[in-house]
Every structure is written in structure tokens, then in C-alpha cells.
Structure 1
Amino acid sequence: MKKLRIATIGVGRFGIFHLHAFRQLEEVLNVELVAAAEIDVSKHSAIKNDFNIPVYSNYLEMIEKENLDAVSVATVDYQHKDIVLNSLLHGLHVLVEKPLDTNSIGSFEMMNIAKERELILQIDFHKRYDPYHIEIRDLVNKNKFGDFLYGYCYMEDQIVVPRDWFKTWVNKTSPAWFLGSNFIDLISWLMNSRVKSVYAKGQKNKLQKLGLDTYDSITSMLTFENNAIITLDSSWVLPENFSSIVNQGFRLIGTEGIVEADSHNRGTTSCFTSEKGIRNHNSGFMHLEKNIYGKPRYVGYGIKSIQHFIENVVHLNNGLKLKDLDGTYPSGLDGHEVTKAIEAIHLSIETGVAIEVQNGNELCTKVV
């Protein structure tokens, strides 16, 4: 049986880990990382040297030449739609970083083309793969919490993220798109319930003074179909000497139980004379170790979520149908639901009213 041929589109700050994840799978599955596409030509030489693969400036040229079976997309948010659609139309299975799209019409189109063509469209909502979160979902499925009533979640980045990492395109995104999407999917998945309405407020202050036209923070009140009310804070203006790049956590309260998860401080803290401040570690997300042959490899739920996509493609190649995988991975439908919710968050900020999140591809509408 021929090896499945895989490539990555967008080899930036996180796309590089897609390459590592796929290369490591070559040791255990009948798959091969064969190419990458990256518009920044200054990165090509390092990628070629590290992975021994061709690197294309034009992803369409790569798709045409490399006889691929699947691609992952790790470009900036607003570029996802065209790349994902073109990949699906070429018959490729697709993994895409969150959010699926920053427009619900686009996410709906991607979701439906994948479904029509029996192709996997998987979203890298890696928080579903965190073993702490998996345990909480197991408790939910055992009805330990009763009916969910309310909760709170937060995800906050250091200011280096919008100011330094994303400064060339930060005006096309927001903390809700980049950060809030993680927790909207996680809470929806944990409670098995979609967002039905949103009321939100946003703050523009510090970043605007730096010449960056995006929100410092967004606070949203999300009402789910199970009637639980969840407050979500997303921001990216924490001081750069904060103890980690991201501060995050959540709590859920039901009629019969409560759970609290501090995803920032998981028990390991360090401080050194050679470095400033205290550092918190989340090694469970991703860390580097060596296998029995002394070869470095990345492990953690941040890698597992990427590799799960290829495992699904292998299952399909071995005879499973797409419907056999329903509910086992973050799908195009899940990505579409998150896009609709965040679209509603921004519409609520702009209009000052609560927004109803419609089913299907209906546009968000004002709650009367």
C-alpha cells in the first residue's frame, strides 16, 4: 500500500510543529511528509535543511506537483478560507488551525464542500486533547454536574503576541478570534451544547496607543442551548514579564457539582538568577524528549491533536467512512459553530445589544 503523502501550508511560529508532528508519524504509520509551502522565502533554507523536503512559495504549485493526500493549514486567520477551499477542491483532507474562518459564510462553505466530497475537515482545537479536560468531560458524561448553571473562563496573552508576533496583521484579528475560540470550543465540547446568544463589550486602549487597531480585551456573556451562562474574558495585554506567555483557566458550576481548572499554573514553577521573574510551565502541552535511540521528538497534547488528523486520514484510507468518525474529532461543523459565536461577539460589541446565534448558515441576528 502506498504511503499517504502529507504537506503543511504555513510554516510560521506554530506551523513548524505540524512538520515535526508529521515527521514523527513516519516512524509508526504508512505516511510521509513530502513538502511545505511558506510565503516567507527567508525561512525556506532552514526548513529544507531540517526536514529534507522541498519548500514552495506558492501552495497551489505544491498541490499541483506533489500528488498529496492531505494538508495542514497553519497560516494567519484571515487566509484560511481560500487555502482550505482550494485544498478541498483538489480532493485533499485538511487540518486547519483555529479559527476555521473569521466569517460564518466562509466557514459554512468549507464545512459543506468537505461533507459533499467525503473529506475530513478537522480543526486543531487542541484543548480537547488535554488529559485534564478529557477527565472533566468523562465526569460530565457520568452526569456528575447535573444541569450546568453558569461558569467563567479566561485566556490572556502577554502583549508581545499582538505587538511583536502579529503586528503586521493584528488589525485583522482580535483576542476573541485568536484566544476566545479555544475556550468557546472547549466549553461547548465539555457541555455538549452550542452557543445560542451573546452579549459582549470590548476595550481599545493600550494597543491603539501603540498604533495597533485591535481590541485589548473582550468580555462576553455566552448563553448556551442548555441555558448555562458562561462569561469569557480574552485579552492580550499582560505584561511581558508575566510568568508565561498565556494565562488561562475556567470553572463550571452545575446543580450537582463544580469543577475548576487552572491551565496556567499546573504545579511547576521555576526561578533563576540568570533570568528575570518566575516562570510557570505547561509541559503537558508540548515538550521535547528523546526516544530510545536518542532521537529528539515532541510530545504532548499540542502534538497529539495534530497527529490525530493523520490517524483519521489513515482510517479512511483503510476503509472507514467519514460518518464512522462523527463525534470523534473537532469537525468543520464545530469550527463553524465557533466562528458564528465569535462573529456574534463582534456584532454585539458594534451594536451594543445581545445577538442570537442562528443554526446553519443563517446570519447572526439581534435578539428582540
Structure 2
Amino acid sequence: MSGAAPRLGVVGCGTYGQQILRCFAAEARRGRVTLVALCDPHADRRARAEAEFALPGFAEAGQMMQNCALDAVAVATPDHLHAGVIETAAHHGLHVMVEKPLDVNLARATRLSDSFARADRILYVDQHKRFDPGHIRLRQDLAAGAFGRPLYGSVHMEDRIEVPEIWLRDWVGHSSPSWFLGVNFYDLVTWLTGLAPRRVYATGQKGVLEQRGLPGIWDSVQAKVDYDTGFSMHYDLSWILPASFPSIVNQGIRIVGSEGLAEVDSQQRGYFAARADAPGALEGNPFGVLEHDHPLFGPVTDGYVFEAIRHFLDVLAAWRDGGSARALAGRYPDAASALTAIRLAEAVDRSLASGGIEPV
């Protein structure tokens, strides 16, 4: 990669792929990246993205990589399809940003991590919870010992039912509340505390989604996870909140220590709206996703969701300016750090199947 702005393609133009495209389009107007092409196997979705972003579209990721002289790709495919795209990118010597989870198989994810390290290429996992200002403050306070020794805590992350029923309907059978939602906070808790999970006991419920034509899909999962030093976290994860809930996701984290506690409510961030043309009130998160017109650059993207995407460009610039994947390891959400969350998600699956406590 030369000193010019990196040439980047986006694989996947669904809900999150659209956010990635909007973010990189804004950064292209600042001269930080050249957005070259996009890829999606669904012709209608691809055509809409081609028109909106004025980019050539491809039905197959390898074809895009073969024809577009790229430096990097951003991957926003269904989770179980990440590995194939990443392997193709590795074959073409490209850097990769991929949505969480890196993969849904620990052994395969480990091989991907190792192969990118050997090739001195960046494999960046978009763990945007690490970029939430509330979580950054919590991590600083924990590191400073502000709450004493961490003892226990809890997480809740709950989506409206439209997420599995509509957004993910074509591939929801390859996911669960643990994989789609839990991985966010499995990663975050280790990042916050520096502690590794040791064992898990998980339970779950089914029935709501089965009645809506999605047989065998978990409605909700609860996981009690024990970490190093005796620290314990409870995770409540579901994706069956009613359509009337005022935001797409309800989420928060609480940690209690020997000398205090902290709570971060990631859903109620102080923005409420009720409109005549909408069926219900809205509680938005302006800290997470904010799009507005900049007087110099036109439409821009702000908030920690987009900051996590932009940080990929910072890492590529550091690599280009004489860094290496080895030297930059641990300074961004790299593949190696993503493995703990995958390991825990697999242990949750084992516990749900066995009905017992499973090692992580």
C-alpha cells in the first residue's frame, strides 16, 4: 500500500454494510480513503447500493478483489460467511475489517488470525462497544482501581423482534442471541477488566420465534460466566422485544467492586422523540450513530459506531507509515483479541446443549 489513500471495497450491502458504506463515503470526501467498489450477491440490494454510492457492484467478492486493485476490504456478510471472504482477501494480500464475530468457529478463527499475522496484514474486528465513551471511562476507572477488586456484574442486550424475524430471517438459523448479541459484551468485559472467562452455565428459552415460523431458534439466552480472580458476570440476551419498544436495542452493563460500582446505560442516552408520522416514540442514541452535514465536507458520520469503523483507517495509516501487524497488535480490536469472545460463545452453546457447567 502506497502513501495514497487506501483503496477499499465493501462486501455486503445489508443493514450494517450500508452503515460502513456511509462512513467510508464520508471519509472519502475527507481524502482518507478511496471507496472503489461494493459486492453483494442479491441483485436488488446491490443495485440500490450502486445507485446510492455511485460505485461499481459485483455479485462475488473474489471477482471484485481480482478486478479492482484494492488495498483492503470491509466485510459485512452474514456471520457464518465471514471466513470465506476473509480467506479470499488473504489470498489477494489485502487488509480486512470484519464485523463481529470474526468467525463462528474458534479453530477457523484462530487460523485466520495466525495467517494474517504471518503475512503482516491487518485483520481488524469491528468491536464497536470498545469505542463507547461510557465504556472507555469505565475501563479507565477499573484500571485505576476506583471500585476496588471487581466482584460481580451483569449485562443486558435485547433486540426488537424485527431483528431475527426480518433483518436476519435468511440466516437466523446460523445465529442466536449469544452469537449475534452476546459476542459484543463477551468481548467488552474482557477488554474492560483484562480477565479471561473460565467456566459458564447457560440456559435459554424457545417458543416465540417458533410460533412465527422460525423453528429451533432461541428466543433468549442467559449465561453466568466465572472469570479469573473469582469475578462473575451474568448476561441476559434476547431478540424478542416487542415492536413497540422505542429503540432497536436495549442494552447496559453494571459492575460491582469491593469499593464501589459503575453502570453504563447504553440505550437511554437522553434523546426522546414522538412524531405524528411514526407509530411509536423513539429513544435514540446520539452517542452511537449520528449523521449530519459538515460545512466543509457535506454529509459526515459521527458517534462511536462510526468511530470504530474509522479507526480501521487509522490502523492502516500506522501500518503504511512503517508499522507492522506485530507492532500494532493489541492497539486495536485485532483478530487475536477477538478469539476470547468466540471461545466463550462456543462454551455457551455447549452449556445450552449439555445443561451443565462448561469450561471456556
How do 1:47-62 and structure 2 match up within 5 A? 47-62=49-64
Query: 1:140 aligned to 2:133?
Result: no
Q: Does residue 340 of structure 2 align to residue 312 of structure 1?
A: no
Letter in 1 for 2:198: K
Match of 1:73 in 2: 75
Deviation at 1:256, TM superposition (A): 1.5
Counterparts of 1:36-115 in structure 2, within 5 Å, are 36-115=38-117
1:233 partner letter: D
What are the Cα deviations for residues 172-218 of structure 1, in whole angstroms up to 9, with x where unaligned? 11011101111111111111112121110111111112221310000
Question: Does 2:226 match 1:223?
Answer: yes
Equivalent residue letter for 2:109: S
Structure 1 counterpart of 2:304, which letter? Y
Q: Which amino acid aligns with 1:96?
A: V
User: Per-residue deviation at 1:227?
Assistant: 2.2
> Residue 342 in 1 paired to residue 345 in 2?
yes
CA distance in 1, matches of 2:86, 2:149: 38
Corresponding residue for residue 359 of structure 2: 356
SS class of match (1:265): coil
Partner of 1:178: 180
Deviation at 1:12, TM superposition (A): 0.7
* Secondary structure at the counterpart of residue 343 of structure 1: helix
Q: Which residue of 2 aligns with 1:360?
A: none
Distance in 1, Cα, partners of 2:32 & 2:130: 26
Distance 1:277 1:20, change over 3 A: closer
The 2-side partners of 1:260 and 1:31 are apart by: 37
- Counterpart for residue 3 of structure 1: 5
Aligned counterparts of 2:30 and 2:327: Cα–Cα separation in 1: 23
Counterpart CA distance in 2 for 1:314 and 1:29 is 13
Query: Deviations along 1:44-67, whole A, 9 cap, x unmatched?
Result: 332222222211001101111111
In structure 2, give the amino acid aligned to 1:36: L
8 Å Cα contact 2:269-2:286 kept in structure 1:
no
Tell me the distance in 2 between the aligned counterparts of 1:294 and 1:71.
Answer: 24
Q: Which TM-score applies when normalising by structure 1?
A: 0.94
Shift of residue 29 of structure 1? 4.4
Question: In the alignment, does 2:323 pair up with 1:330?
Answer: no
- Point out where structure 1 has 5 or more consecutive residues left out of the alignment: 358-368
The counterpart of 1:16, out of the listed 15, 18, 21, is 18
SS in 1 for 2:230: coil
Name which of 123, 126, 132 aligns with 1:124. 126
Normalising by the residue count of structure 2, what TM-score does the alignment of the two structures yield? 0.96
Structure 1 ranges of 4+ moved more than 3 A: 27-30
Quote the residue 1:364 is aligned against.
none
What is the one-letter code of the residue matched to 2:23?
Answer: A
Give, in whole Å, the separation in 2 of the partners of 1:211 and 1:193: 40
Q: Deviations over 1:10-65 (max 9, x none)?
A: 11111011112222222444531111111111123322222222110011011111
How far did 1:118 drift?
Answer: 1.1
Range with bigger deviation, 186-195 or 40-49: 40-49
